């Protein structure tokens, strides 16, 4: 299933150089399962052809405030009223000003006044324009309307400046639209997530680690942030891009992960320990490269910190979720870990099952809570599993009577 299956997205394109990205944005929305209606300002027509966007969206592009549909409906009323979500990308300084003033001088601004759907605004402009007090004030006003403002990326701009003002990647804008449509049932809660492997050095060039890619932990962090939580992600070494909107702390060893988790657990309401932490490390790390020689090699290992048990014992009223990656006796081993570590919920998966191992986009899991209730997910996307985990966790937060931390 796509994240936007069955949703109708109204894409409003402003007149900036970043308008060229709207073609790929339409494609990404469709790939996520949405149908896309495009509306363009007059200035946007100077940067990209309506025919291009019409060909990609398979729908007539709205460019005229006075146009009517085939069944005689007023165009801007229809497209604004039908939308499940609206995204303005790129949102130029001029368009943002007109939106903040409540103007209806073209099809885009008129449709934005009509719609009751969530609105995502993605500013893209010259750095100095973006930082001008008038633009900042207008963005604050739009945020006050309930619009979701997407922070622009930094980098080299088309105008030659270097700094913030770049329109984010289309995949990010799709994710922001998904977030705007998400239930914000974790708003005001603080969620601490661990992800990825740890690396325990043998010598300056070698280490002990595992096959964890971090995908599952990152999916949980992204989903929690979408649902309104303040998220801290403690990540081992992975090749994934940091989730937008999350505080990310990079660590390497089990000791470093333990220190980071302990430092942030007190301020957390929910802890989801997804990381595959190494169970053993060298009793003494060699200061120089261990040289090859005839015969075998014996390594003296010692246990690493049991991070999850330590967190669970000191958890107070917070909810703690653990993971169990097993190769045999899945349920028996998972229940044992749940009980030993005093967890509220454990997510068990057999990593030998096809599509459910490390470094895959999918997972097949069994969710087991402290009462013994089991929920089998079947093979699903890790993003979908993340939502199921948070659904259960939110229920546990409610049962425990934990209240969101309101600023």
Residue 85 and residue 120 in contact, taking contact as beta carbons nearer than 8 Å: yes
Pairing of strands 200-201, 153-156: unpaired
**Phi and psi at residue 362, to the nearest 5°:** -120, 170
Cα separation, 59 vs 45, in Å, equals: 16
DSSP 328: S
Beta strands in 169-255 (DSSP E): 190-195, 200-201, 207-208, 230-235, 247-250
Q: Give the distance, in angstroms, between the CA of residue 297 and the centroid of all CA atoms in the same chain.
A: 44
3-state secondary structure at position 228: coil
Tokens 């099952």 found at: 353
Tokens of 370: 């402290």
- The pairing of beta strand 345-350 with beta strand 362-369: antiparallel
- Using the Cα atoms of residue 352, residue 354, residue 360 and residue 366 in order, give the sign of their dihedral: negative
- Provide the CA 62 distance to its chain's centre, in angstroms: 31
Do the beta carbons of residue 2 and residue 33 sit within 8 Å?
yes
Sign of the CA dihedral with 359 first, then 362, 366, and 369 last: positive
Do the bridges between strand 35-40 and strand 270-273 make them parallel or antiparallel, or are there none, so unpaired?
unpaired
Does the active-site annotation cover 246? no
Q: Which two tokens stand for residue 52?
A: 């291009």
Of 206, 197, 187, the closest CA to residue 148 belongs to 187
Q: Distance between terminal CA atoms of the chain?
A: 36
Q: Which of 159, 205, 241, 403 is catalytic?
A: 159
Q: Which residues does the annotation mark as catalytic?
A: 159
């Amino acid at each position: 299933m796509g994240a936007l299956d069955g949703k109708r997205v109204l894409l409003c394109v402003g007149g900036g150089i970043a308008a060229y990205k709207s073609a790929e944005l339409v494609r990404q929305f469709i790939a996520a399962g949405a149908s896309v209606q495009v509306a363009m300002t007059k200035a946007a027509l100077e940067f990209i052809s309506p025919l291009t966007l019409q060909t990609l969206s398979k729908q007539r592009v709205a460019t005229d405030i006075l146009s009517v549909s085939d069944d005689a409906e007023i165009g801007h009323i229809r497209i604004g009223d039908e939308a499940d979500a609206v995204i303005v990308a790129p949102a130029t300084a001029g368009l943002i000003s007109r939106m903040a003033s409540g103007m209806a001088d073209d099809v885009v601004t008129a449709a934005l006044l009509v719609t009751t759907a969530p609105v995502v605004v993605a500013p893209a402009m010259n750095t100095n324009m973006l930082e001008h007090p008038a633009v900042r004030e207008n963005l604050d006003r739009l945020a006050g309307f309930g619009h979701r403002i997407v922070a622009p990326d930094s980098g080299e701009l088309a105008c030659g400046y270097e700094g913030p003002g770049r329109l984010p990647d289309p995949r990010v804008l799709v994710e922001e639209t998904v977030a705007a449509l998400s239930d914000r049932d974790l708003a005001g809660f603080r969620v601490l997530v661990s992800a990825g492997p740890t690396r325990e050095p043998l010598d300056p060039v070698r280490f002990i680690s595992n096959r964890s890619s971090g995908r599952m932990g990152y999916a949980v962090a992204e989903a929690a942030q979408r649902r309104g939580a303040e998220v801290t992600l403690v990540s081992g070494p992975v090749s994934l891009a940091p989730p937008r909107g999350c505080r990310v702390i990079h660590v390497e060893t089990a000791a470093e992960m333990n220190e980071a988790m302990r430092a942030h657990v007190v301020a957390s309401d929910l802890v989801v320990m997804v990381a595959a932490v190494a169970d053993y490390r060298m009793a003494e790390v060699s200061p120089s490269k261990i040289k090859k020689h005839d015969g075998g090699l014996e390594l003296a290992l010692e246990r690493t910190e049991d991070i999850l048990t330590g967190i669970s014992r000191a958890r107070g009223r917070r909810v703690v979720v653990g993971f169990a990656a097993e190769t045999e006796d899945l349920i028996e081993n998972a229940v044992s870990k749940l009980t030993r570590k005093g967890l509220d919920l454990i997510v068990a998966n057999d990593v030998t099952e096809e599509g459910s191992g490390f470094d895959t986009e999918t997972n097949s899991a069994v969710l087991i809570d402290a009462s013994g209730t089991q929920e089998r997910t079947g093979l699903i996307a890790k993003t979908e599993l993340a939502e199921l985990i948070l659904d259960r966790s939110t229920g546990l937060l409610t049962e425990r009577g934990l209240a969101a931390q309101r600023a």
